[in-house]
Amino acid sequence: MPTYRSREIVKLTRDPFGVRSERSAVIISSATRPREADRNSERTHTVTPLTKDLDTFSDHPWAVVLDKSNSTIGADLDGDSVAEVWETLPVTNSAIDDQITRLTEDANREIAKAHATMVLDDDP
């Protein structure tokens, strides 16, 4: 089974929200967890889903807009995307279909800042 690392953008085998047939996501952590999500030995990653719906989500204070070319190393994304930090979730290796590309360090830093902003936000 392939090994995936932080900053890799991957295609999930299914959209965890059931909105579309597939969903891409960025791996924000591939560190070992105290207990695997499905209680077996399969590696679990924390991912932040991506969406191409910039009209709806790009103005959100926690959104990170990723340029399809400038935010990646290697292959381009299909289009500009928004990292939906408010939807971060764990997935196992079997939920990942394939690696698409890898984020730049700057783009990854922006996602980390957005997560910090979300966690530290006092506004109810």
Angle at 59 between CA 53 and CA 60, to 5 degrees: 95
In this prediction the pTM is 0.87
Residue with tokens 């966690």: 119
Asked whether the predicted pLDDT for residue 120 surpasses 70, the reply is yes
Sign, CA dihedral 73-46-89-105, equals negative
Convert the pLDDT of each residue in 43-101 to its tens digit: 788 999 999 999 999 998 899 999 999 999 999 999 999 999 999 999 888 899 999 99
